[in-house]
Each structure stands twice: as structure tokens, then as C-alpha cells.
Structure 1
Amino acid sequence: MAVPPELIGGALASLSVPAAALLVLARNNLTRPGARGFVVTVAGWTGWSIVVGLRLIVESAALARALNSFAVVFVSVTVLGWAFLVAEHVRGRWIELTWRRLVVWLAIPVGLSVVAFTNPAHSLIWGEATRTAPHGTIDVAHGPAFTVAAVYWFLVSEGAAVWLARDALRAEGASRRQGIALLIGHLVTVPFAYDTFAAFPPAPHVDLSPVGFFLGSVVWGAALFRYGTVELAPILREATLDEMCDAVVALDNDDVVVDVNSAASELFPTDGDPVGRPARRLFAEFEPLDELVIDDRPVENPLSLVVDGDRRHFQVTVSPVTAGGVTRGRLVVIRDVTELIHREKELATAKQVLSRVFRHDIRNDLTVIRGYAELIAERTAGETARMARTISETTDELATTANKARRIERTLERPTEAIDLEVTSLLESSVESVRTCHPDATYDVDLPSELWVRASTDLEAAFRNAVENAVAHNAGPDPTVRIRSRREGERVVVTVADDGPGIPHEELEVLERREEAPLSHASGVGLWLMTAVVECSDGDVAFDTGDDGTTVEFCLPTASGRNRRERKRRPDDPGTDPSDRAEPV
């Protein structure tokens, strides 16, 4: 008993449902490389299957011929979409569709479609011997244009398949799995699409290509859920991930593992492929990590775990992965910072030892040297007394440099509280402190009666260094320093200008590079101190230097207007170093 062609046609058309479902699933991922080609290919499968089914259902021979023309269109759509999918997958990036590229890609398909729809006028696609009757085509006689079309379809489609196969062989991990899944989905359609089974038709020339598209849709659908073919981890460049020392794990919104790199595989060994497993199973042996990762919020936390019997320290970062404003999953990056923490502890220990040496041993030795030098200077005369005074002055300079270095260390490690400070009183106090050691200099001070900033309590030390440097390193007969302050919007600008020789270029370079370099005298340490204090106050400091002098410009945030208080000099004030009370620094 013959099967009615309408029934066969309905069955073939219904096979397009899985492909249509893939279109729905992939529609929110069009920003992913390869997603557009995926959608176009599946759309071609869907249209092709529907046309094949309708050709067996319709009773009009004219309508059946029109459906043949639509079949040419959907074949071209399928081939182009497949080639575009492969191109973006292999390259791993979005391909911009310029007008020139669109013309190149669409020229032949559009031309074939036009020839197909105008076939009754020239018979270039289907020859005159082709017989079309109700419920399908009985005899097919292909014209020369169909041969050209078939060669074009074959070269583009199978050329892309070969390209994808070569890339999958070179790739690893998720990229290889995704490539193989795409390739299998294509290959199962090939024998049906090329009419391999046309010699055994259940009805007059029944096209079985919808069966192949059904199988391909099943394979791609499984890949979509199993490997995230166009979802969270589309076409990951595995080589880049595997070069990372950090362990990287990609999760979807259901906390299922989508991808891992080599470092993660070594850190979390599993039996078999971890992809597709719940995150809780992957992190089962590391409960603290499991709790961090399962939390939906972004995370950046230190974590200590026991790995292979050893205590290791990690920095864990969990970030959302979004596309089109929608969260698609999360990326977990686990960085091993064990060696860094050990190194930091070693440096902290070394710093404590050196600080103790500077505080006690060297400072005490300098005091002894200075005392003996002063005694020699008092009890001798001539060249011997002069050399003794030089020794005494040098020990003073070394002590001052050490004091400044310790203040820089304290400022950087334990920044003092930012409070409201009155700039005019701090500048006047700084000038008077420097004037006691350098009374012969000229101090041109022009300041407003009151000006407030929000800054570190070490700010006066920075001002005092600026004034001291302006005078101490000016060998002119009448050193002059000009101090000004003004308010500009939400900032207060303080300038300290001198007429000295300028700051050596190499010292300014050290500040710009933020690299250690030998500092030839106390001025260099003072520049570091000014910079450290101002930056800890959320401000900026600039140096404009030349042969005619130097201008130091401090730019600081204005005070909020609340809790203003002028800092009082007390022995226990955190902004006052005991060594600073002896002499200006």
C-alpha cells in the first residue's frame, strides 16, 4: 500500500521543528563569534525542510515549481551560513560585514536565486525535460546553471568543513570539543543533502534532506547544552587560556562547568572531563572555595587551602559574564599567591631589621661620631679643626636623611588620618622653623588669612621640606623663597618658589619612574617625602625647575567645612616625628 505523498510531506516538514527550536535558543547570543553563522545555517535548514515538505503536499504543479526555486534560495542560505560560522569559529572573533564583503559573499547566491525564479524563460537550472506534477517533481533534468550551483555549494560547504576539521585537530579542550560537535552536525546532513538516497525513493523523487537536518539539529542541540557552542564559552581560544598560570573555570547560570583551562585541571583533578559537571562536584574537596564560587555576587577574596598536603594561598576572583545586558554565567579565576605572600613576609622581616638598625645602631653611632668630632674641633685648630667640623656637619646631614627616610616609610605603610588643616598656619610655622636654621635668607610670604584643606597630618613636614630645600640648596648671596596659596574651585594650590640653581634632572627622573636610585643628598629624600605625603592626601605635587629657580606646586582637596581644627604641635601628635623638633627636615 503506497504512502500518501501528503503524509510524507507533512512528516518531512515537521522535521524542521528541532532546527526552529535551535533558532529560539541561539537568538540571545548573536554577539558571540560564530552565533550569526549558526543562526543563518539553522534558518536555512528550517526553510529547506519546510519547502521539501510542501512540495509533496501542494496539488498545484505551478506552485511546486515555485517551491523548487525557493529550495535554491535556502540551499544557498545554508551554505553561506555554514561557511560564515566556520570562519568566525576558527578565527575566534567577530567578522565585520562591510559592504564590500557582503557583495563578495552574496553575489553568486543572489545570482543563482534570480536564475532559479526566472527558469521558465531559459531552463538554465532545470531543463525542459523536467516534469513537475502535483505532489512533487517526477523527472529532473538539470541545466548548466545547476551544475555551476552544485559545484559552488560543494566547494564552499566542504571547504569550510575541511578548514574546521584542521582547526579542531590543532585545538584542545573546549575549543576542540565545540569544533568536533559542529563538524559532526554538518557531516550527518551531507549524504541526505546531496541526494545520496534518491535512488531508493519512497515516492517520486522525495528529497530526504530534512532527515539529515533533523539529525544535525539533534547533534548541535546536544552540543549547545553540553559544550556551550554559542552560549557562555563560544569558541574559546584554548591556547590563550592554557598559557595562563591562573586556574580559570567558566560556569553557566546553573553553576555547571562550561570550560576549564589546564591550570584548573591540575588544581582540581577529576575522573574524566569536568565540563558539564556541577561546580559543587568540581570544588567538593575545597569547601571554602565552593562557598565563594556558588555566591551570585562578584567576589575578590584571599583564600587559604590545603593542596596535596601543603598549605597554599590563593586570590579568588568571581566575575559575571554578560552579553546583551544579560548575565550568561560567571568566570572564576584562582591565582596562587603562595610565593608572593612568603616573599612579602621575608621583605617585612628584612625591613624590620633594617629599620631597627637605622633607629638605634646607626643613629647612636652617628651621635658618638658627632660628639667626638665636636671635641676635636674645640681642642684643635687649623686644618684639623676644619675637618672635624666637616665630619660633624656630615653626620647631621646623615641623621636628617635617615629621619626623612623613616617618615616616608611610615607615610607609605601607615598613612595618617586625613583631617581638616588650616594651610596658612602650617606654612607660617614651616617658614619660622626653617628661618631658625637659615636666618640670612629672604622669605616672601603672602597668604590669605585662612585656607582649609583635607589632608594628611604629615602635610606640615612636606611644606617644611619645600621651604628648606628652596633655601638650603641655594648658594646665592641672598637666597629668596616666595610662598603663595590660593583656592581654585574644589582644590587649594600652594606654591613655593626660589631663585636657586634648580633641582637636578636625575632626581626628578627618579620621582617620575618611581624606581629606586642613589640619592646624592638630603634634598632627594625630601622630594620623595613631599610626593608621598601629598599623594596620600589625594593631592598632586608638580616641580617646575630651571636655571632661574624652582617652583614646587601642591594641589590639595579643600576641606569639607566640618570638624575643622588647626593641628596643635604635641609630642604624641602622629604628624610630628620627635627628630623633627631638633632641626627642620
Structure 2
Amino acid sequence: MPWQSTPYVLLLFLSALVASLWAGYATLSVPAERRDRTVLAFVVLCLSAAVWAATYGIQLASTTLEAKLFAHRLLHVGAAITPSAWLAFALAYTGRGENLTPPVVAALTAVPVALVALLFVNPYSLALVDVGLATTGSLTRLETTLGPAYQFHLAFSYVAVIAGAALVVGNAFRSGGQVKRQAVLLICGALIPLALNVFEALSLPPFGTGPVNLTPVSLSLSTACFGVAMFRYRLLDLTPIASRVVVSEMDDGVVVVDADGTIVDVNPAAEAVVGEQQAAVGSAASARLPEYDRLETATDDVLVTREGPDGGRFLRLSRSPLRRDGETYGWVVLIGDVTTIEKQRRALEERNERLDAFAGVVSHDLRNPLSVISGYAELASETGDPEYFERIQSTTDRMTAFLEDLLQLSRQGETVTEFESVPLKEAVTSVEDDIADGDLTVVVDDAVVGAVVSADRVRFRQVLDNLVRNARDHADGPVTVTVGRLPDGFFLADDGPGIPESERESVFDVGFTTREPGTGLGLAIVRDVVEAHGWSIEATDGEDGGARFEIVGVEFVEADEHADPIDASSEVS
């Protein structure tokens, strides 16, 4: 087969070699487990450019119409797929790889495959209307008249190339100062083939008036630019590999920040904290994350609070460097939601504080009665006076009551176990029957009749028992306790001495009491059980001048005809 010699052939073969080498380097240098969509699309782009350049060189070197036409058809195996590969690479590189779904990949592949098939069979001149040879100087060229299918492919190719260039250039401009060299490479790689195509389409000198289409050469230059940016400057270690390979599916938020403090990438979980990715990328990290400056000097993680749809959230921030060859390219900020852990820690802290309070109460409230018992026991042994034995018995009863209250309070971690339907009136009646005191009268309003509370049956009865006993024990004589209904709860009010306004917040504290024999634990138990149900309690004035305790946030349910009756003899523990 005769060949014609031209420097363009050598240039095209050299371009094919460059693109092939980058495809091989990307395949060999990236481990199989890290070959994400970006690397795969880059390899396909390099191979398609290599096939295009090599077969175009063969077409130029050949001299017969048959050889040139056959090579022309073959070169489109690379040329037709290059725009689709270019757009796929741009999508994957800029963090939009999830858009490369099977239907999208099929659509990007369908047009090139259809064109290649039409070039070989060319029914109704859909791909090529006419072909012939033309001579420019000493170079014999193939001239073609394009059919409608080829024109459609050209339009598709320009849209794909322009869209891909826009994505890559936009991503490059959003990169921070640390990656300016990489950004220049990205912009050059995106714009060189696009600019050359404009020259070719408009026949503008110096590139648009020559006898050879230099687009395959420009694509080889683009692959070289992208290859250097990706593998020499490790751009894939910052964006997108840091997010796509490691953090895209993480529950914790991840913010990638360059060395100048500019956000360059955000994973979906972090958008709730720093805002949507498109708005956050390019912003100063300290503007989107005010605590970022603290991370620069902190020796440990930073705990911050945020308001969420379900209330306050606790977030733990940490920062780790992104280094390569001793150079720091940026930072990864991890944002972990530690709300559950932090609440548990604070609850444990509160419980430990309460245990410390127990120790003080126990040391005070048990030491004194034991001293009294010891003194009266000595007097009783000396005198045999029955009065001393009665005082010993009274003091012992007081200690027993104290220990029972202390046991109840120590079980607050087991306060609520299982909710069920509890009729309010029956629960109050069972408490009254259990106390059975001639000085105590319990009145239940009509509005309470039929009211059913969703509660832990045993602990709910404990609340009512302690409140009723509190009213009885603080009255100097007969006392009446009234139980009434509130829109979102109920109240217990007595006609006793009441609670001074200055002490209404303190009555729920462990150890607080206004009477000498009191343990100061009963209302503390009430508060803990009420809050464990998700309710709240407040002490206020009664209509008759006594104390009134309002419990709100209560969930009332429909009466359950099959609910177990309240056992008046059930033991409160």
C-alpha cells in the first residue's frame, strides 16, 4: 500500500502514544479498589483519543480512496466516543458521578455507537453523502460531505464537550489557592480542544485553515494536563477522592478545606451544618463553621451545640491534615453528631452528683437517729423506763421510712419501664385506701372520672402516693386533697399550710424539707418519675391557700375496657 509522508502523521502518532501512556499510567498507578468513576472515565477518554489520533494518522498516510475511507470509519470508533467520555469524566471529576446511572451511560453510548454503525453501512446516505480525494500541495486528503445522522452527532458532540468544559472550569475556579497550579492545568485541558474546535468550525487561522484536523492532538494535550493535575499534584486526594471514595456515604459530616481555609468540598451529611454544597464550596470555612478557628489551636476535639428540628444537638468537630510528600494540601473536618452520647454523659454526671447528695443526706439523716437510739438504749438499760423504748421504736420507724425513700430514689434509672392505660380516678382511690388515715380526705373532681393516663402503672402510683403523703405529713390536722383535671394534665391541691413562694423551686431538691422528721426525698422522687414520663411538674398556690402541684404534658388515652384494675395493695418500690 503506498504511503505519503507528512509531519502531521508523526504528530498524530506521537499524540496517540501520549494518550495511551496516560491510560496505562492511570490503570497501573491506581489500585483496583480505588478505581472510581473518575479514573475509569479518564482511562476511556485517553484510549478514545489515542484511537482517534492513531487511525487519523493512518488515514493521512494512506493515498487511495478505499484505504482512506476505511481508516475514516475506524477512527470514529475513537472520535465518536470521545465527547461522551469527556462528559462522563467531567461529571465524575466534579463530584457528580452519581448521575452516571446505567440509563445515562446508555444514552451517552447510543449516539456514538449508532454513528459508527451508520458509517459502515450508510443507508440512504445518512452518515456520508459523498466522499472524494483532494490534493493540498503534496498532501492527498479525504473530503466528505456529511449526512443528517453525522450532523446530529456533531451537535451532540458540541453539547457534550461544552457541558464538560463548563463543569471542569467551574470546579477549577472554586478550588482554593493551594491548588492554583492544578486549576490552571484543568482550565487548559478543558479549553484547548474546545477552542480548537471553534477554529475548525469557523475556518479561522491559524488552526482552522490547515489541511489537517488537529482535534486529536489537542485531546492528547488535554489528557496530559488532566493526568498531571490528577497524579502529579494529587488533586484526586482532595476532591473528589476524599469525598467520593471515603466520605460520601458516611453518617458523619465531612468538610474538605484547603490550606487557605476555603471549603472545597462538602459531603451530604455536612450540608445540615454548613449549608448546601454549591453554596458552601468556595466560602471561607470560618464563615460557614464559626468554630473552625478554634480547631486551628485546639489540642482536642471541639464540642459545639446546634438547634435542630428535634431540639438541641451536640456536634463534635475534629480536623485532620491532607498531606502528600510532606506538603499539606488541606484539611478534613469531621462533624460527628454525639447528641445521644453527650446526653447520656450528662445524665450520668447528674446521677453522680445526686449520689454525692445521697451520701450527704445519709451521713446526716442516719447518724443523728443512730446517736439518739444509742443514747436511749443506754438510758433504757439503766432505768428500764418504757418511755425510752417507745422513743427508740419511734426513731427506728423514722429510719425505716427514710431508707424506703432512699431506695425509691436510687432506682430512678429504672423509673419507667412500660407504658399502659391507667385510669386516673382508680389510681387515686387505691392510694387513699392504702394510706387509710382518718385525718386524710381525698376528693376527685368529676372531670377526672373516665380520664385514662398513658403511664408506667407502678411508678405513676408512686407519684400519687408521695404527693398525697406529702400533703398529709405537712398538715397539723385534718387535710383534704383535691384531684382535678387540666387541659394537658392534672393537679393535686390541698388545704394545708402551703409552700412559700421562695421555696417552690427548692422543694424538689434532694434533701430539702420543711419539717424535722422529713427525709427531703419524697418530692425529689416525684420530680424524677414525672420527668421520666416526659411530663413536667410545678408547685404553686392552691385555691384554699394550701399547696398545689400541677403535672402537665400528660398523654390521655381512650379507656381500655380490658385494662387490669388498680391493685390497692400493690407495693410501691
TM-score (norm 2): 0.47
**TM-score, normalised via structure 1 length:** 0.46
